[in-house]
Structures are given as C-alpha cells and as structure tokens.
Amino acid sequence: MPKKVYIFDTTLRDGEQSPGVSLNVQEKLEIARQLERLGVDAIEAGFPVASKGDFEAVKAIAQNVRRPVIVALARAVKQDIDRAWEAIKYAARPRIHTFIATSDIHMKYKLKMEPEEVLKRAVEMVSYAKSLCEDVEFSPEDGTRTRPEFLFKVLEAVIDAGATVINIPDTVGYAMPEEFGALIRSIRENVRNIDKVMLSVHCHNDLGLAVANSLAAIRNGAQQVECTINGLGERAGNAALEEIVMAIKTRSDYFNYYTDIVTEQIYRTSTMVSHLTGVHVQPNKAIVGANAFAHESGIHQHGVLSNRQTYEIMTPESIGLKQSQMVLGKHSGRHAFEERLKELGFTNLMPEEINAAFEKFKDLADKKKYVMDKDIEALVNEKVLKVP
C-alpha cells in the first residue's frame, strides 16, 4: 500500500524570507486560501514575533483557513512562543513550531551557548509550548551539520518533553541526497520513540539539491516534507512543492507514496504566488516555468502531435494548464506549422500555398526570436493570399 507524504507549506514563512518579498495581511490570506484549495496538510503562516503585520496575518489565517494545520514559528524563547500561541490559538488545528540551532558552529558563534545549555533550553521550551498547544514541532537548526550523537540526544529529549513532530532542517543546503537519506535512516534507527512522532524534513537549495534531498529523505523514512511554492525562500530558496509532488505522482512506479495535493491547482497557485510576491518564475523551471510544456523543435513537435508521451512525461492538464504549447521558431517543422495554420482558420490552403507560407515563415523565424500568431496571419494574408 502506498504511504502518504504530508505536505507542509512554508511559502508564507520561509518563502517570505526571500530578499525583497513582503506580503500584507490580505495577500497572505489570499495565498493561504489557495493553499487550502491546493490540498496542503499544513500551512506555516508566519513568524508572529517578527512584526505586528506578521502576527495579524497569522491570526487572520488561523481564524479563516480551517482545514489544514496552521503553524506559527517561534525561536526557543518564551516571548516568541507566547506570541505564536496568541496568533494561532484560533485555529481549528494549531501547531507551534519551535527551533534552536544544534551545530557546533551555530552554538559557538551565533548562540554563544554550550551544548548542554542548548539541550536544556530545547527541552524547557518544548515543554512550555506543549503547556499551551497539543501539537508542537521541534527543529534542530543546521541539523545536517550537527554531530549525530548530540542530534540524537536532543531529539530524544524533546520527544520526552512532548514534541509531536521532529523536523530535520538542512538549513544551509549542504547535504548530498545519499548522505541526507542516510541521516534520516539513522535517526529512525537510533532515536528512542521516534516512531511515536512525525518525522519531517526541511531542505534548502544552496547546491540545487533541495528537492533531491527531500525525495531521498522520504525514501528513508521521512513522513512530512516542508516546501514552498516555486521554491521561494532564503538565498537559493527551499524545496519546491510542485517538483516534489509531481515527482512522487509521475514516478509512482519508483516512489510507493502519495500526497493529497490537488495537482490541477498547482499552476494557479504558482501564478498567484509569483504575482503577489513579485518574484518571477524562470522560464525553464520544472513543472511551472513557461517552457515546461512548450515544444519548439520540429522533431519534438512532430512527436508530441503524434503521441504526447513521446516528449511529455506528465500532462499539462495534470497541473491545471489547458494544453501544451507549440512555440513556432526556426527549429519548428512543417507538421506543427500546418497545425497552427488550421488553428488560425487557414483550412482551405492549397499545397503550394502552404509551401510558400512555410518558406516565408522560415525566413521570418531566422530574424525573430518568436514568431507570433499575428505574424503568421500577416504573412499568409499579405505574401501568399495577397489580400489587399
């Protein structure tokens, strides 16, 4: 039986930490409502202690978005946890997510704390969060650069203190997929009572491996993945939700897992996030880039027009797009060109007229990056049919 992978979306928290991105309360609420339609299991709505606006946004989401778990982030500090709880206590299913760094470099230079102090603080703050909220997630920040013995010790202690979700962050995107998979497996094998809680991962994309690392973690026992729409997030971003979900769905022969994501809502969500954050999606971005379902070369166009599966491993409809796109350029072939003529209403052209039009089109394609429909209409009307 395939196992469920829980999708924890952090677009509104880690995604909003992208340089230059700031969403107001209404915008965050609009995205949260769309994430609910998309079918995510949890929405990390923000970091309430960070600003009054973020507090209000988390509160509004907790009050209005009822199906997913609503999560608020807090450092392992009482004031943060109080503020997080104030904002999410209205939610149907609230969760406090608290974190503290556990790697030597972070403890020494950032926290200026000894490992034993960090351990004590983690336990105290998880217990405190638990006194307010039944569902408590704990993250050992910079988990992948933490000494494994210390990591296991902290995780056991916070589970004893009441954590319900243990999240392993690859905070600086340092891990390699096999290594990260092995870390998750070793946590499963070495941490007492790990089977009583949900094991989650949170991968950053500094080396372009966030999605690969998340998928390796799933295959080694992670049940929840934290990710963002369009891979938005600090520096090079977080793991892209749409890539993880479509990899699991498209390669169900490889992954014995499923998600509850309504994949037909992916494109709409991506466009909304891009529009509201002002962060454009690169054209060749997997799944949601403008070119992800576009075919330019004649060989590919001919293949797709004969059988879409020749060059499409998933359908555009499965992510909510109407159809794939045939981009006409200098590499395009006659087959696609004739199809476009028909779509544009030129259904009665004689073979020699089609030949002439194709020749003119190739001349134009050598001069222009894109040949638009209006260019084709003009060249057929003016140069082939000689419409006055």
177 binds ligand KIV, rule: CB under 6 A:
no
Burial of 280 (0-12, 13-18, 19+ CB in 10 A): exposed
Q: Which residues pair with 248 in a beta bridge?
A: none
213 binds ligand KIV, rule: CB under 6 A:
no
Please work out the total of residues on this chain that contact ligand KIV, with binding judged by CB under 6 A.
8
In the list Zn ion, ligand KIV, none, the entry touching 99 (Cβ below 5 to 8 angstroms by class) is: ligand KIV
44 binds Zn ion, rule: CB under 5 A:
no
202 binds ligand KIV, rule: CB under 6 A:
yes
Min dist. Cβ of residue 210 to Zn ion (A): 10
Q: Which residues are annotated as a binding site?
A: 14, 202, 204, 238
Please give the radius of gyration of the chain, using alpha carbons only, rounded to the nearest integer: 25
End-to-end alpha carbon distance in the chain: 67
**What track of x and - describes contact with ligand KIV for positions 98 through 137 (by CB under 6 A)?**
-x--------------------------------------
Min dist. Cβ of residue 204 to ligand KIV (A): 6
Min dist. Cβ of residue 155 to ligand KIV (A): 14
Of 35 and 336, the one with the shorter C-beta distance to ligand KIV is: 35
Comparing C-alpha atoms, which of 25, 26, 35, 76 is closest to residue 55? 25
Phi and psi at residue 54, to the nearest 5°: -65, -40
In the list Zn ion, ligand KIV, none, the entry touching 295 (Cβ below 5 to 8 angstroms by class) is: none
The residue range among 13-21, 43-51, 193-201, 351-359 that interacts with Zn ion, by the rule CB under 5 A, is 13-21
Sequential DSSP letters for 274-298: HHHH--PPPTT-TTTSTTTTEE-SH
Q: Which residues are annotated as a binding site for Mn(2+)?
A: 14, 202, 204, 238
C-alpha 171/C-alpha 55 separation (Å) is: 24
Contact (CB, 8 A) for 283 and 28: no
Burial of 50 (0-12, 13-18, 19+ CB in 10 A): middle
In the list ligand KIV, Zn ion, none, the entry touching 267 (Cβ below 5 to 8 angstroms by class) is: none
The residue range among 11-19, 245-253, 302-310, 345-353 that interacts with Zn ion, by the rule CB under 5 A, is 11-19
277 binds ligand KIV, rule: CB under 6 A:
no
Contact (CB, 8 A) for 129 and 98: yes
Of 238 and 301, the one with the shorter C-beta distance to ligand KIV is: 238
Assigned token pair, 65: 């978005």
Coil, strand or helix at 189: helix
Coil, strand or helix at 94: strand
Min dist. Cβ of residue 126 to Zn ion (A): 19
Whole-Å CA distances, 257 to 15, 64, 166: 25, 30, 20
In the list Zn ion, ligand KIV, none, the entry touching 16 (Cβ below 5 to 8 angstroms by class) is: none
14 binds ligand KIV, rule: CB under 6 A:
yes
Of 162 and 169, the one with the shorter C-beta distance to Zn ion is: 169
141 binds ligand KIV, rule: CB under 6 A:
yes
14 binds Zn ion, rule: CB under 5 A:
yes
Min dist. Cβ of residue 359 to ligand KIV (A): 56
Of 130 and 202, the one with the shorter C-beta distance to ligand KIV is: 202
Assigned token pair, 75: 């450092």
Contact (CB, 8 A) for 3 and 252: no
Contact (CB, 8 A) for 109 and 85: no
Phi and psi at residue 161, to the nearest 5°: -80, -5
In the list ligand KIV, Zn ion, none, the entry touching 139 (Cβ below 5 to 8 angstroms by class) is: ligand KIV
Min dist. Cβ of residue 106 to ligand KIV (A): 10
Of 204 and 340, the one with the shorter C-beta distance to ligand KIV is: 204
Interface residues for ligand KIV in 81-100 (CB under 6 A)? Answer: 99
Contact (CB, 8 A) for 290 and 283: yes
Contact (CB, 8 A) for 72 and 57: no
Assigned token pair, 61: 């989401």
Q: Residue numbers of the site for Zn ion (CB under 5 A)? A: 14
Q: Residue numbers of the site for ligand KIV (CB under 6 A)? A: 14, 99, 139, 141, 169, 171, 202, 204
